[in-house]
Amino acid sequence: MSDKVAPGSAGHGRFRVTPGLQVHFNPQGGDGAWPVGVTETRLRGLLRDARGRLAMGDLARVDVTRETALPPYQGVLDLFSNGERGGYWDLRWSQAAVASGGAASSIGGKVGWLEDLGPHGNHLPQVNLAEQGILQTDGAAVWVELAEAETFFLASRFGMPASPAMTALYAWRPLNPNDSTLRRLFQLGGSGAGSIGGAFGFDWRTVHNDGAVVFNGPVPRNFGSLDTIAEWSRFAGATTGQQRFFLNGAEQTYNRHSGGTAGSTEAAFRVGGGYSGATLFGVHLRLYAALVLDRQLTSVERAAVVAHMQGAFPA
């Protein structure tokens, strides 16, 4: 979060608190400019003394960091402030290119590379021209349209071990909602047993290629081609039945599971589909934004991320 500190002596500026509760203060010009060498200050406010009387007192010690202008997605970047692994891709700001190091994709053109806005540079490629999606816009919102045979594929698992803690959250729109095939929106791990995939068809599932967990909740067959935030969530070592699923920030109830593990350690991550054996179960969709993190979100973080991601949808 961030807020302004009211003008007054040298305290004019803006402070920001990360999810790890690190407080930064960015002094701004005006009355009482800060000396360059000052690296720490105090945050003061009204406190009650032992007799219940109000008086000014120290609330916290604060690092002084002359930050440059923060990007509009700083709140998402703060999720990585404690060394978390994963990636964040958002068509509002991510560069979409024809290839790694290539020219920017034009509207209506192929996308062979999508920039990771997070700290680890996990950019999403697709080197096979036949499997590349198309950059589209309505004049305001921007997205990549992926057909059922088109995906992004990264030969990485973000340093995650087998059965990791994980958040996989997607801002997207299904474009063939009446298809009853069990389609996969993402997959971490390979085509064999123990991968982690987010799937939907007649229901929502987490699939592992050797079992699955089923969740209740309205599926695209019920609500049609609507912009949606879908989130799959698990803690490290979670059994199949302990995994969670959210739609637009609201948790959907567990239905049943059929065993399975998340034991794959294969360095493979795919967006827009997933394999079981030699068969790709892809999705025809619009992809607006995606977030992968090696931990679960708190309820406060989830509400903030969902609201932020919904800003990528067309008005």
Which residues are registered as beta bridge partners of 130?
Answer: none
Tell whether 79 is covered by a domain: yes
The reported pLDDT for the residue numbered 259 is: 84
In this structure, the answer to whether residues 230 and 306 fall within a common structural domain is: yes
Tell whether 213 is covered by a domain: yes
pLDDT at 135 over 80: yes
State how far the Cα of 297 lies from the Cα of 310, in Å rounded to an integer.
Answer: 17
In this structure, the answer to whether residues 301 and 202 fall within a common structural domain is: yes
In this structure, the answer to whether residues 42 and 121 fall within a common structural domain is: no
Q: pLDDT digit string (tens) for 284-306?
A: 999 999 999 999 999 999 999 99
In this structure, the answer to whether residues 261 and 297 fall within a common structural domain is: yes
Closest by CA to 217, choosing from 294, 282, 206, is 206
In this structure, the answer to whether residues 182 and 256 fall within a common structural domain is: yes
Cα 281 to chain centroid distance, Å, stands at 22
In this structure, the answer to whether residues 81 and 46 fall within a common structural domain is: no
In this structure, the answer to whether residues 304 and 261 fall within a common structural domain is: yes
State how far the Cα of 315 lies from the Cα of 309, in Å rounded to an integer.
Answer: 13
Give the mean pLDDT of 161-181: 95
pLDDT at 24 over 90: no
In this structure, the answer to whether residues 203 and 247 fall within a common structural domain is: yes
In this structure, the answer to whether residues 59 and 79 fall within a common structural domain is: no
In this structure, the answer to whether residues 21 and 138 fall within a common structural domain is: no
pLDDT at 9 over 50: no
In this structure, the answer to whether residues 34 and 181 fall within a common structural domain is: no
Q: pLDDT digit string (tens) for 232-281?
A: 999 999 988 899 999 999 999 999 999 888 999 999 999 999 999 999 99
Residue 273's domain comprises 74-310
Q: pLDDT digit string (tens) for 75-120?
A: 999 999 999 999 999 999 999 999 999 999 999 999 999 999 999 9
Higher pLDDT, 253 or 65: 253
Tell whether 315 is covered by a domain: no
State which amino acid sits at residue 51. R
Tell whether 197 is covered by a domain: yes
Question: Which DSSP symbol is given to 69?
Answer: P
The answer to whether the CB of 157 falls within 8 A of the CB of 188 is yes
Give counts: helices (H), strands (E), the chain: 3, 26
The reported pLDDT for the residue numbered 14 is: 59
In this structure, the answer to whether residues 39 and 85 fall within a common structural domain is: no
The answer to whether the CB of 185 falls within 8 A of the CB of 198 is yes
The reported pLDDT for the residue numbered 6 is: 42
